[in-house]
Amino acid sequence: MKITDIRLGMLKVPLKTPFKTALRTVHEIEDVVVMVETDTGHVGYGEAPATAVITGDIHGSIIEAIRTVIKPKLVGLDISDLNHVTRVIQNCIMKNYSAKAAVEIAVYDLFAQLYGAPLYKMLGGGVPKLTTDLTISVDYIDKMVADSLDAVDRGFETLKVKVGKDIGVDIERVKAIYAAVEGRALIRLDANQGWTAKEAVYALHKLEDAGVRLELVEQPVKALDIDGLKYVTDRVHTPVMADETTFSPREVIELIKMRAADIINIKLMKTGGISNAIKIADICSFYDMQCMIGCMLETSISVSAAVHLAVAKSDVITKVDLDGPSLCSFDPVEGNVLFEGADISIEDTPGLGIRSIKGLNMLA
Ligand SMILES: C[C@H](N)C(=O)N[C@H](CCC(=O)O)C(=O)O
Ligand SMILES: [Mg+2]
């Protein structure tokens, strides 16, 4: 099965409600869709969001990286030579993680199609079911409490509460949500870099002293402030998770050696795809460190790949934040991963099993 072409399209899906974090507000998903075509007629699918504030990627850079650098290196390569193909993708251009991720996801999709198995089986197997959390956007306290209660009523047992704005209001936000859902849902926080290290310690001590039990706090400080991350990790009981701080396997090793965080959030759009995500999961497994599998604002095309990976690496990926499809106003994909509220399951069809994508605008 040889790669003959890589075609690109744009996919727009409005969100059910605006997605608000300390970094940005988004009303609709608008992602680049990658279709890797082969001489056997098989097509592999991938997707790349433009998360400029986290990965530095924008639509133009994703499209140009794939068209002018990645595609010319990939056409003619054999999908059965997976490790070679992924090395070419990773080494042909620096950074550009979302472009690499989208193409790698499509290549893994084809690799699993080649052997007629769902992708998770090619990655080592596992039980093809996961449960995701749901993000509660940062907002007025009453709105966040109402959104949290609504999420619990819809069956979500873990809420990822966005904070990182005003520290005093953040403490009140979390206390109010905790009081409203106590005993019905677990709460994890994501400050998206919005606090200083001292603010994070102050807020988490206040919450701990008030009896608020949090599952974890994600990326309390700026991405590059690794000393700050360690400062927080050393001083609070609440487990601290690194998100924006860690992209590559090398960064994860450094973080583990410094003991700067307790948990790592793996996202395919940070690692540049599945091959490095596997390396990170294996490193963490070796060091007895838990991981979360996360996503950006992605539809079920690329989130499906994350689902397959998380199922295969469930020994170390113990936390799931794959709510992209739940945030969408509709699922544009007919495929083998089913997203039903908090429940995610995989059907027994080859690859990612993507049969069709609604509303895709092909690029010339
Ligand atoms: C969508 C997911 N639950 C999430 O919260 N991801 C964010 C980044 C998403 C974005 O801004 O596109 C995160 O974990 O920081
Ligand atoms: Mg995060």
pLDDT-above-70 percentage for the chain: 100
Asked whether the beta carbons of 63 and 363 are under 8 A apart, the reply is yes
Q: Is 94 helix (H, G, I), strand (E, B) or coil?
A: coil
- Token readout for 167 is 């520290």
Smallest CA separation from ligand 1 atom 15, residue: 192
Q: What is the pLDDT of residues 10-36, one digit of tens each?
A: 999 999 999 999 999 999 999 999 999
User: Which residue type, as a one-letter code, is found at position 131?
Assistant: T
For position 7, what pLDDT does the model report? 98
Residues with CB under 5 A from ligand 2 (ion): 190, 218, 243
Q: What is the pLDDT of residues 134-175, one digit of tens each?
A: 999 999 999 999 999 999 999 999 999 999 999 999 999 999
Residue among 193, 297, 327 to mutate when testing ligand 1 (max atoms within 8 A of CB): 297
Q: Are strands 337-340 and 134-136 parallel, antiparallel or unpaired?
A: unpaired
For position 20, what pLDDT does the model report? 98
Residue 297 CA: nearest ligand 1 atom is: 12
Q: Give the ligand with the smallest distance to the CA of 297.
A: 1
Q: In angstroms, rounded to a whole number, what is the distance separating the alpha carbons of residues 214 and 263? A: 14
- Token readout for 363 is 């690029």
Q: Which of 9, 44, 192 has its CA nearest to residue 119?
A: 44
Asked whether the beta carbons of 348 and 335 are under 8 A apart, the reply is no
Q: What is the pLDDT of residues 180-228, one digit of tens each?
A: 999 999 999 999 999 999 999 999 999 999 999 999 999 999 999 999 9
Q: Tokens 């936000």, residue?
A: 173
Mean pLDDT of 97-102: 99
* Ligand 2 centre distance from Cα of residue 220 (Å): 9
For position 27, what pLDDT does the model report? 98
| Cα-based torsion angle of the residue sequence 282, 263, 318, 342 in order, rounded to the nearest 10 degrees | -130
| Cα-based torsion angle of the residue sequence 139, 141, 147, 148 in order, rounded to the nearest 10 degrees | 120
* Ligand 2 centre distance from Cα of residue 60 (Å): 24
Q: What is the DSSP letter of 325?
A: H
Catalytic residues: 162, 267
Q: Are strands 361-362 and 3-20 parallel, antiparallel or unpaired?
A: antiparallel
Full DSSP string of 55-71: T---HHHHHHIIIIIIH
Mean pLDDT of 68-76: 98
The residues pairing with 361 across neighbouring beta strands, listed in sequence order, are 10
Q: Taking the CB of residue 179, how many other CB atoms lie within 10 A of it?
A: 11
Distances (CA, A) of 137 to 16, 70, 183: 12, 35, 21
Q: Give the ligand with the smallest distance to the CA of 15.
A: 1
Mean pLDDT of 234-260: 98
* Ligand 2 centre distance from Cα of residue 364 (Å): 34
Pocket around ligand 1 at a 6 A CB cut-off: 21, 23-24, 51, 135, 160, 190, 192, 243, 294-297, 321, 323-324
- Token readout for 258 is 């410094």
* Ligand 2 centre distance from Cα of residue 347 (Å): 28
pLDDT-above-90 percentage for the chain: 100
For position 331, what pLDDT does the model report? 97
